[in-house]
Structures are given as structure tokens and as C-alpha cells.
Amino acid sequence: MRTIQTRRLRLVPVNEKNAHLLWDVLQEPDLRDFQDLPDLDVSQFERTVAARPRRLQASVAGRFEWLIYFARAGEGRPDEVPLGWVSLRIAERTPTTAEIGYSVVRAHRERGIATEAVAALVGEGFDQADLRLVRAFCVPENRASRAVLRRIGFRDEGVVRHGGTVEGHAVDVVAHNIDRGMWESRKSATPNRSAIRS
């Protein structure tokens, strides 16, 4: 996994050393309203992260996560607080499809951070993991999340009945897809990004 640089942001791969920072973000009170997040203590979470694959590349299944930071000069200090996270989940039986996930902490919402970070990660998946399709699921009432996906160019594929879980309960979700062709044709309209480190 690489650090991904966008116009305003730096997406830093999550590994066993910084997993506790993601764990802290996952404790934010309203992040579980619309999505199912792991309910592990911090050391369980660190062990789970340590067992994940380290390289995002073709045919490697697993969960890949990045912490979102501002890319301002002078940042990168150990006490820097993440703005949120983005993730890709690739299942073994469908290695050319990934499901994307994301959250931004309340204090930094509505400034385009999710749009910029999710767009960068979609590009990373197509470039590095040779994906053909990226999917996203969100509950119909999560209008902010649907706006993020729409703006990036995901297509609304309609409601999947009981297609997700929130706080242990099956819920209907709206499926969103973007395939490689759609992405390529929109690429010029998305924020600049580049990987700066392997």
C-alpha cells in the first residue's frame, strides 16, 4: 500500500503501528449511524490489522485502509489527528471487484474531503489492484454519502433489500457502481492524485 497524495490530502496506509489512530476515529459517536463498524478493543483491532495483506496489487484479497490527513507542509507529526479513513475490501472469489468504505469526522465534513479521498482511492484501486469494478453501499437516508458517490461518477444501481447491516440489524442499502470505463472517461474531472511512496 502506498501513501496517496491529492490536491489537499494525504492518505496514509493503516498498519499495525498506526492502527490505534484508526481505532480512535472509529469510536466517534455518529459513525455507526449508517454503517456497521468493528466492535473490537484496540489490541484486538491492532492484531486484525497486522494480519492483513500489505500490498494492494492484482489478485490479492483483503481489507486495505488509509487514514486521511491534510497534506499541508509541516504536517506528519505523530500527534496529528486524522480527518477520517477510506477503505477497499476485495473478496477472494471476486478479485477484480472492491467495495469502498469511508468516513470523515464531524468537525471536517462538508468541505469536500470525502469526495477527494474516495476519488483518489477509486483511482488507486483501478491502477494498483487491476480492478474492473468498485462498489459502494449506503442506506438510502445517507444523503451526504450518496452525494459523494454521485459526484465522483458512481451509478446508482437501486436498492438491495437487506443488503447491509447497521448495529446488527439487516437494512436495505442503495448499491452504487463505477467500472473502469466509467472511471477512465471521468478521470480528467477528478482531483489530481499521485502515489508518493511505496
Q: Looking at beta carbons only, is 31 or 61 nearer to ligand COA?
A: 31
Q: Looking at beta carbons only, is 192 or 198 nearer to ligand COA?
A: 192
Long-range contacts of 163-166 (CB under 8 A, 24+ apart): 163/137, 164/35, 164/36, 164/137, 164/139, 165/36, 166/32, 166/33, 166/34, 166/35, 166/36, 166/139
Positions that interact with ligand COA (CB under 6 A): 31, 34-35, 102-104, 109-115, 138, 142-145, 147-148, 151
Least distance in angstroms from the C-beta of 191 to ligand COA: 11
Least distance in angstroms from the C-beta of 23 to ligand COA: 16
Least distance in angstroms from the C-beta of 178 to ligand COA: 14
Q: Looking at beta carbons only, is 161 or 181 nearer to ligand COA?
A: 161
DSSP bridge partners of 133:
97, 179
Q: How far is residue 102's CA from residue 112's CA, in Å, rounded to a whole number?
A: 13
Q: Looking at beta carbons only, is 35 or 190 nearer to ligand COA?
A: 35
Residue type at 167 in one-letter notation:
E
Max distance between CA atoms of the chain, in angstroms, equals: 47
Least distance in angstroms from the C-beta of 54 to ligand COA: 25
